A = this chain, B = another copy of it.
């Protein structure tokens, strides 16, 4: 194990003070360029690496952003993370990533860990069953910026990055109606989550626009898992007055609905039109291809981190632009075109 090289070593060798070495390495303007060069050269030669802890300790800032997501293993989230990582890395920030596994308890623990790790900012997409905001209070109190994305929590001190779920829900439902659907089932998730309540609202708006009464028996609140999709179709099959369209708030679940429907002999889209949400890769593979909403995951990650970093660098305060709404888009495929 080699000993670590410090600025003191470099200073001693070059007959300079540690202060000068520190400044040179940080490209401080007050240092003579020749001196600077010799220091940088020597540092490289010795394999010097800055001690982040000493630096952070002094500076009181880590260059690290905390990220808490419900699950890492989803196509959408990995796109988001990829976008986040790209921007963060480019700006010299690191990402500390953890998952809540959709549980409020784990989310709280994660938030605490992030707090103790002194992340400079926190990016969160809340868990399925998160209720309160208390676990974030520490951050707000200490003035550490918190930004929510996708599954947000409305709070005056925090920014949010979302898509217009109401609009998207409206568009997709309208599309189904325009294709002739009159009894449209809606499979969704916990309505406390903005994403699901928004889509549901959009669904309702579309029905209203076309003068179709809302039939609550067609609304199914589930966890949007594959199993939930199968269960939903099982229920559908037992209905007397069967739906002629179904809008599922997530592609994974939608795909399992399609499979279950096909297994039971339903013809898609003739017997029933099916629409999903997210534009997950599977939506282009299932037959028939799934009508869905394009969800800019990667871009969402990029914007989230960029917003956060701008805030941290003082370029633009988070509270000025409280919400960023990204564009989503209806993608019509075979599963709904009658």
Residues on A lying within 8 angstroms of B by beta carbon are 1-2, 47, 49-54, 56-57, 62, 64, 71-75, 77-79, 81-82, 85-86, 89, 94-99, 101, 110, 113, 115-118, 138, 141-143, 252, 255, 259, 281-282, 285-287, 298
Query: CA–CA, A127 to B138, complex, Å?
Result: 39
Task: Choose among A51, A53, A79, A110 the residue with the greatest number of B CB atoms under 10 Å from its CB.
Answer: A53
- Select one of B73, B94, B115 contacting A81, CB under 8 A: B73
Query: CA–CA, A57 to B57, complex, Å?
Result: 8
- Select one of B47, B142, B285, B298 contacting A73, CB under 8 A: B298
Q: In the complex, how many angstroms separate the beta carbon of A44 from the nearest chain B beta carbon?
A: 12
- If A47-B138, A53-B54, A95-B98 are given as contacts, then 15 extra A-B residue pairs at C-beta distance below 8 Å, sorted by A number, are A1-B143, A49-B118, A51-B118, A52-B53, A52-B116, A52-B117, A53-B56, A53-B62, A64-B96, A72-B85, A73-B82, A81-B97, A95-B96, A281-B282, A287-B287
- Select one of B2, B49, B79, B142 contacting A116, CB under 8 A: B49
Given A85-B72, A98-B89, A298-B73: A53 and B118 interface contact (C-beta under 8 Å): yes
Q: In the complex, how many angstroms separate the beta carbon of A104 from the nearest chain B beta carbon?
A: 16
Q: In the complex, how many angstroms separate the beta carbon of A178 from the nearest chain B beta carbon?
A: 27
Query: CA–CA, A117 to B89, complex, Å?
Result: 13
Query: CA–CA, A94 to B73, complex, Å?
Result: 18
Copies in the complex: 2
What residues of B have a CB within 8 angstroms of the CB of A113 in the complex?
89, 94
Query: CA–CA, A174 to B117, complex, Å?
Result: 51
What residues of B have a CB within 8 angstroms of the CB of A56 in the complex?
53
What residues of B have a CB within 8 angstroms of the CB of A51 in the complex?
57, 118
What residues of B have a CB within 8 angstroms of the CB of A255 in the complex?
285
Contact A54 B57 (CB under 8 A): yes
Contact B117 A2 (CB under 8 A): no
What residues of B have a CB within 8 angstroms of the CB of A49 in the complex?
115-116, 118
11 A/B residue pairs, CB under 8 Å, sorted by A? A52-B116, A52-B117, A52-B118, A71-B82, A72-B82, A73-B75, A73-B78, A73-B81, A73-B298, A95-B97, A96-B96
Query: CA–CA, A85 to B285, complex, Å?
Result: 30
Contact B57 A85 (CB under 8 A): no
What residues of B have a CB within 8 angstroms of the CB of A74 in the complex?
78
Contact A142 B2 (CB under 8 A): yes
Given A47-B138, A56-B53, A118-B53: A82 and B94 interface contact (C-beta under 8 Å): no
